[in-house]
Amino acid sequence: MNEQVVRVVEIEKLTPRIKRFRLVSVNGKLASFSPGSHLAVEIPLAKRQYNSYSLCSSPYQTNFYDLAVLLSENSRGGSEYLHQITTGTELKLGLPKNSFALNSLARKYILIAGGIGITPLISMLFVITRHQIPFELHYAAKSPTECAFYRFLQQYGDRVKFYFSERGNRLNPKQILQEQPLGTHVYLCVPQSLREDCRGAASALGYPKSAVHRELFGAVKTNKFKPFTAVLARSEQRIDVPQDKTLLEALEAAGIKANYSCRAGGCGACEVKVIEGEINHLDSYYSPAEKAEQNRILTCISRAKSKQLVIDL
Amino acid sequence: MTNSPKAIKNFPFPFKSDAYMYSVNIQPVTNEALFDVDEHYHGEIEERDRILQADKSGRYFAFPHMKDAQWDALEIIMNDLADYYPESFTLTQEGDRWTWLNKKLNLEDTFTFLDETTLPYEPFEYISRQVQEDIILLDQREGDLFLDAGILTFPASWSLDFDAGMRFEEFHGPVPRAHELGVFKKAKAFLMRVQIGKPWTRLNWTMTVNRRLDTSLETYADWGSDRNTVTLDNCGEKVHLRVEVQRFVRLPRSNGLMFPIHTYLISLEELVTNPDWTRRLYQVLKNLPPDLVEYKGLSLYHHTVITWLSQVVDEPELAEFHS
């Protein structure tokens, strides 16, 4: 994943535990992104890992990215690493992905943030205000000093409401969501209990499911796959598939002629019949019912749950 | 307008086997231009302009919520053309002040990025008037894709006006068999996951009588009856294989999708200069199921083309060539 190389040019402490990093490209242009996007940051520790962070700069800003990182208590080391780097540090990033996109036809946006959950909503504000669509931002934090972007958000006046738990202010989902115009879309980036309260309130008030959005971080590939053996039924050849190779790659390495097209589990071109063994479907091609049949596999992405798979090749 | 030997050599012949069936048949695009500028550039740009001047309604539209998508499309197209055809196109960016130079059309404009008042047309129309591709912009929302902007002067028998605002499976409504096969559900799921900077491509095909790009439903009266005119004598000259090279590109700022379609026409006379293509096309047309013959609009001359091809295929010197 060396898709983008950036240099840290500015670090700002937004709260005692949240730092904002401004990143510029080292190797050309930064990829543009849509509001609500996140991207993977490579953490170059002994055991390399990728952490996902939401972009919190303006999507119309082409020269830099901003990321805000919370120093996590149960960190795998990623946020600790980022909190000790200095300006001038180079980082490797993936390309932006979005699983929390703004609905372009919304009449009004209600954004609800808890703590560090504010970050994807910041990038949304730049777009919502450019298009002059009504919005409300409801932001729960511990206290003003623990509230990232507190000063930045003052420019939006009474469209932003803060709820500081230290002062006993609680966010009331029903109160916020009731009496809103038809076509309102709700964006939730809050802890799970509050998220369930908000979804419950929205549902009770008659919001369509498709109008209530919550941030789902795209799984950054861990490559923690198990090795397995593919047995080719026709030739009885046994092919070992190591954890860092796909079945398709292992077949190709063994000189077997295998069909493929997208190599991303989306098109179905590499489908092979499975005669025996349990399949771990990782594709986006089959329906849940087709996956349950356990008789076909996309070799480019899916793997075995069992130690071996007998396939019709 | 005919094809040069070079254009014939580069023709995107679509058949990989003797029996054609639907599949998503999608491939990544790597180190290759998304937009093709070929020897028909001037002719097709003039044709597009003529069609838009005659009646723009039904040929071009962009819904108001597609503003960011329009700028995305302009940015991607300008960068693509400038990167792959630097002798003809230059993009100079100084902050938000951009200067676009199109030497082929002798055109130079300086404008402010994201400020549409500084361009002579809205951004999507401005740039799409300078490429040969028809282009559809899809908005992604509610777990679906919506046809919310487009320019369509060279369609293979469909209407942009009719499909405007439709969902993905709605605008693919007329395609036989594919719905039952679940092709569109799978294609849609795939497209919704297309990533920034990782475009995809696929081919589609049909046939057209006479070298005519604008086979829209709006102009059906002008070309529909041409399909009655095919004879064994004029078949090689009149009947064309029509191939669409389609691309799927994520629009980064709007999270929409851009779907450019470049249409290539090759007459059978030109096509049979390649004996492999001749044999393959002959087999595909012989094996084509009747509902697909009908859907692709070939019913009136399908049989004539097969007879004509059988005569070419059976020529002994070609058989020898392949022995």
Percent of chain B with pLDDT over 90: 74
By CB atoms closer than 10 A (0-12, 13-18, 19+), residue B284 is: middle
Q: Over the stretch A113-161, which tens digit does the pLDDT of each residue have?
A: 999 999 999 999 999 999 999 999 999 999 999 999 999 999 999 999 9
- What pLDDT, on the 0 to 100 scale, is given for residue B288? 92
In the predicted model, what is the mean pLDDT of chain B? 91
* Residue B202 appears among annotated catalytic residues: yes
The fold for domain A4-93 equals Elongation Factor Tu (Ef-tu); domain 3 (2.40.30)
Range of the domain at B164: 5-321
CATH number assigned to the domain with residue range A228-311, chosen from the 4 options 3.10.20.30, 3.20.20.140, 3.40.35.10, 3.20.20.210: 3.10.20.30
What's the mean pLDDT in B123-144?
97
The number of distinct structural domains making up chain B is 1
Q: How far is the CA of A186 from the CAs of A2, A106, A195, B74, in angstroms?
A: 34, 9, 11, 30
Could you say which DSSP state residue B249 is in? E
**Least-confidence region, from A166-170, A287-291, B109-113:** A287-291
Q: Which backbone phi and psi does A310 adopt, to 5 degrees? A: -95, 120
Q: In 3-state terms, what secondary structure has residue B262? A: strand
Structural tokens at position B214: 């604008």
CB A112 within 8 A of CB A202: no
**Least-confidence region, from A136-150, B20-34, B169-183, B246-260:** B169-183
- The secondary structure of B153-211, three-state, reads CCCECCCHHHHCCCEHHHHCCCCCCCCCCCHHHHHHHHHCCCCCCCCEEEEEEEEEECC
* Chain A interface disruption, residue of B181, B195, B251, most A CBs within 10 A: B195
What's the mean pLDDT in B183-210?
90
- What pLDDT, on the 0 to 100 scale, is given for residue B317? 45
Report the alpha-carbon distance of residue A122 to residue B87 in Å, rounded.
Answer: 41
What's the mean pLDDT in A283-288?
80
Interchain CB distance below 8 Å, B190 and A285: yes
If one compares A238 and A49, the residue with the highest pLDDT of the two is A238
Q: Where are the beta strands (DSSP E) in chain B?
A: 27-28, 60-62, 89-94, 97-102, 107-112, 134-141, 144-151, 200-209, 239-250, 257-267
What's the mean pLDDT in A24-53?
88
Residue A139 backbone class (left: φ over 0; alpha: ψ -120 to 50; beta: rest)? beta
Report the alpha-carbon distance of residue B281 to residue B30 in Å, rounded.
Answer: 28
- Cβ partners under 8 Å of residue B94, min gap 6: none
User: If you measure CA to CA, which chain A residue comes closest to B76?
Assistant: A32
Interchain CB distance below 8 Å, B186 and A285: yes
- What pLDDT, on the 0 to 100 scale, is given for residue B52? 96
Measure A63 CA to nearest chain B CA, in Å: 9
| Long-range own/partner contacts, residues B269-273 (CB < 8 A, 24 or more apart) | B269/B236, B269/B237, B270/B2, B270/B3, B270/B8, B270/B11, B271/B8, B271/B11, B271/B241, B272/B236, B272/B309, B272/B312, B273/B8
- CATH code for A108-214? 3.40.50.80
Chain A residues closer than 8 Å to B197 by CB: 3, 31, 95
CB B196 within 8 A of CB B250: yes
Q: Over the stretch A160-178, which tens digit does the pLDDT of each residue have?
A: 999 999 999 999 999 999 9
Interchain CB distance below 8 Å, B25 and A104: no
What's the mean pLDDT in B88-111?
97
- What pLDDT, on the 0 to 100 scale, is given for residue B181? 73
- What pLDDT, on the 0 to 100 scale, is given for residue A221? 40
Q: How far is the CA of B294 from the CAs of B99, B265, B317, in angstroms?
A: 48, 20, 34
Structural tokens at position B36: 């093709």
- What pLDDT, on the 0 to 100 scale, is given for residue A77? 79
Could you say which DSSP state residue B106 is in? T
What's the mean pLDDT in A19-41?
94
CB A93 within 8 A of CB A4: yes
- What pLDDT, on the 0 to 100 scale, is given for residue A45? 84
CB B137 within 8 A of CB B258: yes
What's the mean pLDDT in B297-317?
85
Per-residue pLDDT for B289 more than 70? yes
If one compares B307 and B180, the residue with the highest pLDDT of the two is B307
Write the ipTM.
0.88
Sign of CA dihedral B103, B107, B109, B115: negative
If you write DSSP's letter for every residue of chain A in order, what string do you get?
A: --SEEEEEEEEEEEETTEEEEEEEESSS-PPP--TT-EEEEEE-SSS-EEEEEEB-S-TT--S-EEEEEE--TT--SHHHHHHH--TT-EEEE---B-SSPPPTT-SEEEEEEEGGGHHHHHHHHHHHHHTT--EEEEEEES-GGG-TTTTGGGGGGGGEEEEEGGGT----HHHHHTT--TTEEEEEES-HHHHHHHHHHHHHTT--GGGEEE--PPPPP---PPPEEEEETTT--EEEE-TTS-HHHHHHHTT-----SSSSSSS-TTEEEEEES-EE---SSS-HHHHHH--EEETTT-EESSSEEEE--
pLDDT band, very low/low/confident/very high, at B318 (cuts 50, 70, 90): very low
Per-residue pLDDT for B259 more than 60? yes
Q: Over the stretch A165-216, which tens digit does the pLDDT of each residue have?
A: 999 999 999 999 999 999 999 999 998 889 899 999 999 999 999 999 988 6
Nearest neighbour of B255 by CB, restricted to A34, A267, A287 = A34
- What pLDDT, on the 0 to 100 scale, is given for residue B323? 36
| Number of cross-chain residue pairs from A and B with Cβ atoms under 8 Å apart | 84
- What pLDDT, on the 0 to 100 scale, is given for residue A244? 77
What's the mean pLDDT in B206-220?
91
CB B299 within 8 A of CB B224: no
Per-residue pLDDT for B319 more than 90? no
In the predicted model, what is the mean pLDDT of chain A? 90
- What pLDDT, on the 0 to 100 scale, is given for residue B321? 46
What's the mean pLDDT in A50-59?
91
Interchain CB distance below 8 Å, A98 and B72: no
Report the alpha-carbon distance of residue A141 to residue A164 in Å, rounded.
Answer: 5
* Chain A interface disruption, residue of B190, B192, B202, B249, most A CBs within 10 A: B190
What's the mean pLDDT in B151-171?
91
Chain B residues closer than 8 Å to A263 by CB: 28
Q: How far is the CA of B208 from the CAs of B58, B128, B155, B265, in angstroms?
A: 21, 24, 11, 8
Percent of chain A with pLDDT over 90: 72
Q: Which of B167, B202, B211, B212 is catalytic?
A: B202
- What pLDDT, on the 0 to 100 scale, is given for residue A269? 79
Domain ranges of chain A: 4-93, 108-214, 228-311
Interchain CB distance below 8 Å, B26 and A131: no
- What pLDDT, on the 0 to 100 scale, is given for residue A1? 52
Report the alpha-carbon distance of residue A132 to residue A126 in Å, rounded.
Answer: 10
Cα angle for residues A81, A85, A90 (degrees, 5° grid): 100
Measure A183 CA to nearest chain B CA, in Å: 12
Residue in the structure block whose two tokens are 């919370």: A70
Could you say which DSSP state residue B215 is in? B
- What pLDDT, on the 0 to 100 scale, is given for residue B173? 78
- Cβ partners under 8 Å of residue B97, min gap 6: B110, B111, B112, B113
- Cβ partners under 8 Å of residue A222, min gap 6: none
Q: Over the stretch B41-57, which tens digit does the pLDDT of each residue have?
A: 999 999 999 999 998 98
Interchain CB distance below 8 Å, B26 and A267: yes
Nearest neighbour of A32 by CB, restricted to B65, B143, B253 = B253
- What pLDDT, on the 0 to 100 scale, is given for residue A2? 55
Interchain CB distance below 8 Å, B255 and A285: no
- H or E element at residue B303: helix B302-313
